[in-house]
Amino acid sequence: MNRFFDNRNVLGLIFMLPAAALLLVFLTYPLALGTWLGFTDARIGRAGHWIGLENFSMLVQDSVARLSLFNTLFYTVVASTIKFALGLWLALLLNRNLPFKSFFRAIVLLPFIVPTALSAIAFWWIYDAQFSVVSWALERMGLIHRYIDFLGDPWNARLSTIAANIWRGVPFVAICLLAGLQTIPPSLYEAAALDGATPWQRFRHVTLPLLTPIIAVVMTFSVLFTFTDFQLIYVLTRGGPLNATHLMATLSFQRAIPGGNLGEGAALATLMIPFLLAAILFSYFGLQRRKWQQGARD
Amino acid sequence: MASVHIRNVHKYFGGTHVIRGVDIDIADGEFAVLVGPSGCGKSTLLRMVAGLEEISGGEIEIGGRVVNAIPPKERDIAMVFQNYALYPHMKVRDNMAFSLLLAKRPRSEIDSRVAKAASILGLGELLDRYPRQLSGGQRQRVAMGRAIVRDPQVFLFDEPLSNLDAKLRVAMRTEIKELHQRLKTTSVYVTHDQIEAMTMADQIVVMRDGVVEQRGKPLELYDHPANLFVAGFIGSPAMNFLPAKLRRAGDRAEVELADGARVPVPRDAAGEDGLPVIFGARPEHLSLAGAESGLAAEVVVVEPTGADTQVFAKIGGTDVTAVFRERHEFRAGEPIRLAPDHERTHLFDAASGKSLRT
Ligand SMILES: Nc1ncnc2c1ncn2[C@@H]1O[C@H](COP(=O)(O)OP(=O)(O)O)[C@@H](O)[C@H]1O
Ligand SMILES: [Mg+2]
């Protein structure tokens, strides 16, 4: 009996059990259930029957679902790109020897700490058709004559929600990249300076390549978070106006819970998986190459 | 190639005065070694020559040009860092080619210069490896390769060997010296290891607390240290120091140790009768003496190395070391007599630490 417990593999298995159980109950089971629901005609209060790909073929022809796919891609691509650019810029700034360095770092983290729902409500006020502080300020400066309808016009609404998402997402990117920047030894920059590199060449040939592995990880997470965003949209626009800001996540919820069509909502949510997988694989292979490139033996 | 002149240079970090008026002249083609205990400002001075630190005061001239306001990349210098600072994402080849690439040299010239530097340093096989795939010694060599492809006016080395194990350090020491004899590029080499300084330098600059204590040829410093600090720093095992009083009678000069024993001192020693002094004798300038001469000592430990015998003993209450070419066996506590070779002893003013030999 004692020998049995002394075995490394047995012991390993025993220690893994709690984690495995948690994963099974809270990750695998919901994922499997959701996917399975997508192949049924389940409604709230009624168990569904297997209907094969019917939900999916319906969704493919559904113009609102197609619009939500476009919205999601647009939202993800634009917001992630800008988050990356802004985050990198901020990280580079914060990596310098600024006075009050830790104070600025704390400030940058602020949007990340505030609960999304709360910051979404703040944005709701900022974007309000009548009380918007932005419109008010712009009008005072004489730049506009009518208040901007931030959330009432489809394109305005798309851009406004993207702006809110960026505000919320930049700190994560900036702080992670800052952590990455701080792993680059200063002597590399000094060596590059002596080798004749201009500040831009130092960024291009030292900072960027050494930061790539972290960029890959951070941007994968950033893309995943953005692609699956729900709270911001739900508080700000509920998908409106005219479904212009419906993301796949919000539409899926809309169809499943208020709409009662569990099967259809689940199918839409399932359709997100291939995109997410693609993003993960992209960064995984990107990372692999970097690892090899840096010749890590250890 | 170029000479380097450092004139009355100062450096402040905030309110801390780190370099306090340093003057050094390094001739064209000379190998100068800055040596001193850790924290004395060697790296800071070197980095000021490189242009990596602002010069707070004074003037640095490289190749006849004052470089105070000239950025590092226009100073035409190459530096080997203590941690090598190789670009981890570039192969050895690209690490070496980087500066030439930035200088927009034609590809064929870059290739031939990299190949030449690689063959000088025996890096040929390693050109397509990444720095992480190299051993410490190989990385060190690549760092030097990166410096020599550029054919700069001056090489700067900041403790390049301190991350290597003892054996490799000795080998690389020789190799760097050979390289210098071959390329004859003016070099400034920083180390805290006085043996490195002694073995490699044309000129040694001993620094302490941001000032130059003495500079000169290695053996000059060894034979004529200007003060107690240099005397104790240069040489291994270190010089023995015994507190004493100077005694003059006619044209005879002697020192009187605490226990009353008297030893003659070199004729050129200055100072009046009764002056408190520190008497210095190097371990290899002590020899065994008969019952009547020398100083009474008591053996503490004997360490035979094969080539010589090191004897640790006490004279009065002071620890001394003696090195003999011959083999001796002593017991701990055994009384012996040690006679200093008095023309090669040293005398320092106890108050100022300055050498009293002229
Ligand atoms: N960037 C810096 N800011 C403040 N003090 C520094 C800085 N760099 C070095 N110093 C101080 O200057 C002194 C000399 O440092 P350094 O030149 O690195 O010494 P060494 O290379 O001789 O060991 C040390 O006391 C060190 O603490
Ligand atoms: Mg140093």
Provide, as residue numbers in chain B, all residues whose Cβ is less than 8 Å from the Cβ of A295: 88, 129-133
Contact B358, B346 (CB under 8 A): no
Q: How far is the CA of B4 from the centre of ligand 1 (A)?
A: 22
Q: Is the minimum CB–CB distance between A278 and chain B shorter than 8 Å?
A: no
Q: Least CB-CB distance to B81: which of A191, A296, A297?
A: A191
Q: What pLDDT sits at residue A296?
A: 46
Q: What residues of chain B score a pLDDT lower than 70? A: 1
> pLDDT digit string (tens) for A100-152?
878 888 888 888 788 877 887 888 888 887 778 888 888 888 777 777 778 78
Cα A283 off chain centre by: 14
Flag if B72 and A193 touch (Cβ within 8 Å): yes
Residue of B48, B74, B80, B87 for testing the chain A interface, max A β-carbons within 10 Å: B87
Q: Least CB-CB distance to A190: which of B52, B129, B130?
A: B52
Domain ranges of chain A: 57-293
Tell me how far apart the alpha carbons of residues A169 and A112 are, in angstroms, rounded to a whole number. Answer: 7
Q: What pLDDT sits at residue B232?
A: 94
> pLDDT digit string (tens) for A32-56?
888 888 888 888 878 888 888 888 8
Nearest alpha carbon, ligand 1 atom 20? B39
Which one of 3.40.50.2000, 3.40.50.10440, 2.40.50.140, 2.40.30.10 gives the CATH number of domain B240-349?
2.40.50.140
Q: Is the minimum CB–CB distance between A297 and chain B shorter than 8 Å?
A: yes
Other Cβ atoms closer than 10 A to B221: 27
SS3 B150: coil
Residue A150: which of A137, A138, A159 has the closest Cα? A159
SS3 B237: coil
Q: What pLDDT sits at residue A197?
A: 92
Tell me how far apart the alpha carbons of residues B146 and B108 are, in angstroms, rounded to a whole number. Answer: 17
Nearest alpha carbon, ligand 1 atom 5? B13
The predicted complex's ipTM stands at: 0.85
**With a threshold of 0.90, does the pTM exceed it?**
no
Domain ranges of chain B: 4-229, 240-349
SS3 B51: coil
Q: What pLDDT sits at residue A12?
A: 84
Q: What pLDDT sits at residue A290?
A: 60
Provide, as residue numbers in chain A, all residues whose Cβ is less than 8 Å from the Cβ of B50: 190, 194
Tell me how far apart the alpha carbons of residues B281 and B275 are, in angstroms, rounded to a whole number. Answer: 18
Other Cβ atoms closer than 10 A to A186: 10
Q: What residues of chain A score a pLDDT lower than 70? A: 1-2, 287-298
Q: Is the CB of B38 under 6 A from ligand 1?
A: yes
Residue A165: which of A228, A107, A106, A105 has the closest Cα? A228
Residue of B nearest to A296 (CA): B132
Amino acid present at A139: E
Other Cβ atoms closer than 10 A to B87: 20
The ligand 1 atom nearest the CA atom of B45: 17
Q: How far is the CA of B159 from the centre of ligand 2 (A)?
A: 7
Q: Is the CB of B345 under 6 A from ligand 1?
A: no
Flag if A294 and B132 touch (Cβ within 8 Å): yes
Q: What pLDDT sits at residue A291?
A: 54
SS (H, E, C) chain A: CHHHHHCHHHHHHHHHHHHHHHHHHHHHHHHHHHHHHHCECCECCECCCECCCHHHHHHHHCHHHHHHHHHHHHHHHHHHHHHHHHHHHHHHHHHCCCCCHHHHHHHHHHHHHCCHHHHHHHHHHHCCCCCCHHHHHHHHCCCCCCCCCCCCCHHHHHHHHHHHHHHHHHHHHHHHHHHHHCCCCHHHHHHHHHCCCCHHHHHHHHHHHHHHHHHHHHHHHHHHHHHCCCHHHHHHCCCCCCCCCCCHHHHHHHHHCCCCCHHHHHHHHHHHHHHHHHHHHHHHHHHHHHHHHCCCCC
Q: How far is the CA of B42 from the centre of ligand 1 (A)?
A: 8
Strand order of the β-sheet with B295-304 is B286-288, B335-340, B295-304, B309-315, B318-324
Is the domain covering B4-229 a CATH 3.30.830.10 domain?
A: no
Nearest alpha carbon, ligand 1 atom 17? B41
Tell me how far apart the alpha carbons of residues B69 and B279 are, in angstroms, rounded to a whole number. Answer: 47
Indicate the average pLDDT of chain B: 92
The class level of CATH for A57-293 reads mainly alpha
Q: What pLDDT sits at residue A6?
A: 74
Contact B248, B236 (CB under 8 A): no
